[in-house]
Amino acid sequence: MQRASDYLGKTGPFCEQLPGYQVRDNQLNLCDAIEDALEAGDVLAAEAGTGIGKTFAYLLPALLSGKKIIISTGTRHLQDQLFHSDLPRVIKALAIQSQPALLKGRSNYLCLHRLDMAPHLDFINRETRSFLTEVNEWSKLTDSGDISELDTVPEDSYIWPMVTSTADNCLGGDCHDWEKCFIVNARKKAQAADVVVINHHLLLADMTLKNEGFAELLPEADAFVIDEAHQLYDVAARFFGNVVSSRQIISLARDTIAEQVNDASDMGELREYAEEMEKAARDFRIALGDRGIRDAWLKIQNKASVKQSLNALGSTLQDLITVLLTAAERSRGLEQCCERAQNIMLRLKLFQNEHSDTSDDEEQSVLWYETYTKSFMLHATPIDVASIFQQHTDNFSATWLFTSATLQVNKKFEHFARNIGLEDYKSGVWDSPFDYDKQSLLYLPENLPQPSEQTYTRELMHAAVPVLNASEGRAFVLFTSYRAMNLARDYLKQMLPYELLVQGDLPKHQLLEKFRQTDNAVLLGTSSFWEGVDVRGESLSCVIIDKLPFASPGDPVMQARIDTIKRNGGHPFMEFQVPQAVITLKQGVGRLIRDVNDFGVVMIGDPRLKQKSYGRIFLNSLPTMPVTSDVKDVENFFKRISTEDVAPTEQDIQDANAEDMSSQETA
């Protein structure tokens, strides 16, 4: 009987049809394991090393199974790549009839009703009006309504929230554009498809029944493939909680005014109350203090100015609700504004109850807030994500396949499984085909101060300069904080002849493109560059990591989880903080070797890797690379790969160290 993996073998169609395709034994084995899980209805956690080709390994058995499969990816970018590139290749190679579909959250689709409303919003500026004209012209041409098609309008443009819908402001079946609705048509295609590509946000939004309109599809699925599964825990924590934001409030105010202009021109009080509510939201933002704060609500909930401005916001919101209850009969748009206002009020009351730190559904939550330059967000985040996720997955009697390059910690899956509530599951590891012994070198410098000391970043950069000179730039320098990144920038500007590209100077995608196109560049970045970034070839030959990426214990959600583990008699540092940091470190290190022809050096400055007992857990979790603490080995590594295309192995370094030791003893 032919197996799915046979198609990936030496006599299969992929060798014939894909230039440069290489048969990888571990890819074949992973494909077999996924096929077995699909047939048996198992839950499988599969760590698949970088370069193994896990996408093809799960697409083949999924497409050949004849089952309804939902594939969830980490980001919309990965969704597009999977749907527009990988899936067509596999379908063509298999020579089968398949009906795949791509489905994103509703904010990714143009809303024709809101496009009609947009010109009536009197706060549109000249730039936004120009973009609106572009969107309007594109709306007459597009079949999908997917806003990613219109790349001439920036992703972060203010126009997009004006012309896309949310679960709160969608009119549903009462909308006069319902038959032409892009999201409705995308859902219909998804319901008819045998393979549907979504993302984690959409998957979890539907699980929590937050009206993303996908509920008719999930119960029909026979299997779920969760790619980039290491991200699932953090995404779930956000989705299983509640949020009140200034954006929600201001959007409600402006939509109310637009609806009032259209359907209740005689009710001027609607505009007055909406404007008062928007002002109250801005006043509340000022009361919350400086920008860039992320802290527990308990710390400020009794502050007089905060209580006063929050009560004022609640009062203006209630005034608006009172008038909207009367106006709601005028149109579905005003009725829907009323429903939104009532929902915001329910969430806002969580933060007006001084003695409660639990949500209404009795799931224990932590209340916290964060501030930006002109906006704020109030969060109620569940502490126990695992039990909630487990409840939702139990609703679907389907196969669940979780895969990522970074699921294990210290060669075990316990941390991943515990985080999302997996109990009865199978697991396996399929290692990368890359030869890390020859392709890479791990450099752990000695004699650096502790990361907590003020001189640490400067001393680390001092140690990094010879490494960056040896690599001739071509490096990522990854930091755990913006402060450290900015200190490093000031130092490296004086010490390096290479162009420095710093996160924040340009949008991320532009910064990456400039890095690829600039010879010998050095890119400095924080958390967003630790994963999901793929630079192949000589352009990236070195990755320097400043510290072990422990989440800040001052983070309110992290602190709440630490306290909960302590109350339950556990040890939060080893049970939660270390494993979370290990996963992040694995992602950061994984930026370096992205191809069989890549070579490079990883430098991790943090002395705790060697000095603390838990350092061994981090090292055990990384790919098996030669390790050195001598910068000369780094210099020799780059000399050798530039002249011989052969990197030093672990044995080379051991032999060199033995020679050094012998020389010292003789002396």
Tens digit of each residue's pLDDT (9 = 90 or more) over 326-359: 999 999 889 999 999 999 999 999 999 754 444 4
Whether residue 609 is found in the same domain as residue 660: yes
Does residue 380 belong to any structural domain of this protein?
no
Residue 350: its pLDDT value, please? 93
Residues 458 and 554 in one domain: yes
**pLDDT tens-place string over residues 588-605:** 999 999 988 899 999 999
Query: Torsion angle, CA of 528/235/78/7, rounded to 10 degrees?
Result: 130
Q: Is 369 among the domain residues?
A: no
What is the pTM assigned to this prediction?
Answer: 0.87
Q: What CA–CA distance (Å, rounded) separates 255 from 312?
A: 21
Place 667 in a pLDDT band, splitting at 50, 70 and 90.
very low
Q: What digits encode the pLDDT tens for the residues 462-512?
A: 999 999 999 999 999 999 999 999 999 999 999 999 999 999 998 888 899
Residue 124: the pLDDT is 65
pLDDT at site 121: 67
In a domain, 249, yes or no: no
User: 177: how many CB neighbours lie within 10 A of its CB?
Assistant: 15
Residue at a domain's end among 358, 386, 411: 358
Same domain, 635 and 585: yes
How many residues are given for the chain?
667
The yes-or-no verdict on residue 217 having pLDDT over 80 is no
CA 100, CA 488: separation in Å to the nearest integer?
47
* Span 161-189, average pLDDT: 88
Q: What residues contact 255, with CB distance under 8 A and at least 6 apart?
A: 117, 169, 333, 337, 340
Residue-averaged pLDDT of the chain: 89
Query: Is the domain of 77 the same as that of 120?
Result: no
In percent, how much of the chain has pLDDT > 70?
Answer: 92
Same domain, 414 and 448: no
Same domain, 348 and 493: no
50: confidence class by pLDDT, cuts 50, 70, 90: very high
455 and 586 co-located in one domain: yes
Q: Do the beta carbons of residue 364 and residue 355 sit within 8 Å? A: no
State whether residue 523 is helix, strand or coil: strand
Asked if 503 and 637 sit in the same domain, the reply is yes
Pairing of strands 100-102, 195-199: parallel
Q: 563 lies in a domain?
A: yes
Say whether both 452 and 582 belong to one domain. Answer: yes
Cα separation, 387 vs 251, whole angstroms: 33
CA–CA dist 309, 302 (Å, integer): 12
Q: Which residues contact 497 (CB under 8 A, 6 or more apart)?
A: none
Residue 376 maps to a domain: no
Band of pLDDT at residue 118, cut at 50, 70 and 90: confident
Residues 119 and 20 in one domain: no
CA distance 301 to 96: 60
Range of the structural domain that residue 571 is part of: 436-666
Q: In the predicted model, is pLDDT for residue 122 greater than 60?
A: no
How many domains does the chain fold into?
4
Largest CA-CA distance found in the chain, in angstroms, rounded:
99
Model confidence band, residue 306 (pLDDT cutoffs 50, 70, 90): very high
How confident is residue 222, by pLDDT bands cut at 50, 70 and 90? very high
